[in-house]
Amino acid sequence: MLDGLQKKWKVSGVRLALIISTFAIGGSLTGYAGRRILGLLPIASGWPWILTYIVLITLLWPIAVILVSIPMGQFGFFKGYLRKMGARIGGRKSKVKMQKSKNGETLLPRPTSIALFASGAGSNAQKIIDHFRGSDSVKVSLIICNKPGAGVLDIAKRENIPVLLIEKERFFRGDSYLPELKQQQIDFIVLAGFLWKIPTALIQAYPSRIVNIHPALLPLYGGKGMYGRNVHEAVLAAGDKETGITIHYVDEQYDHGAAIFQARCPIQPGDTADTLAHRIHLLEHEHYPRVIAEILSA
């Protein structure tokens, strides 16, 4: 059963334990709060008490699990989980994108199409590709890169994913390659080590559909020039006791959009920018694909 849940939710064993613990603690808190509230109401025992209790726990449970999920680090999962529950209860249909034939006839549902923007080796891009490999609902359809010799291009070739090499003038002062994104039917953009600022035209075309991962606990150590080794050296120079990652939506400012998820790790005695980078990469690889999946399933 646990293996089935782990595969269904695409989470690690540790994270599955945290999710189950959140369910358990949230349920206990709901029951406790429901009984306390009932004790304050002038309702006699019997059917009126039972019906009122059922209504109370139905209303209190979502609040309880959301509250518990925050310190447990599972807010993103439960936010998406409750949204899906609400959609099912309300009878809403999911937003399924349909493929169309040349004559306009609607065919089968098509998966959400992702474009990965990357400037470097592409380790995060590879983990995202691996996560959605074989998925019927999400497809990595395009890799966009601004550096002709970047390692991510080798990944694209090996994975047989189309590549779009971009240049600065058109990206910032032209059409921002929106025609190519439209042609590929891109629904969602993921920045995976992409070092250029995203132009306003692209943000307006994809509102709340562009995400980034930053190797620090924003709002700390964000802004222009704060990427990779620069961030880790700044963290160490400040003498911080911990650091981590932030997954956030992208807006017109560097590292400024609303945070979606953060994960933390302690800074060890003797840490260097290289050792810190290694642990941060592990956090990125563990959480980024999962959080993207949760956003797309919400």
Cα gap 246→35, rounded to integer Å:
38
Q: Tell me the DSSP string of 97-163.
A: EEEE-TTS-EEEEEPEEEEEEESS--HHHHHHHHHHTT-SSEEEEEEEES-TT-THHHHHHHHT--E
- Going across the sheet that includes 112-118, the strands are 163-165, 138-145, 112-118, 188-191, 210-214, 242-249, 259-266
CB 75 within 8 A of CB 69: yes
Q: For this structure, is 214 an active site residue?
A: yes
Q: From the candidates 131, 214, 248, 287, give the one annotated as an active-site residue.
A: 214
SS3 244: strand
What are the residues whose beta carbons fall under 8 Å from the beta carbon of 154, sequence distance 6 or more? 122
Strands 188-191 and 210-214: parallel
Active site (catalytic) residues: 214
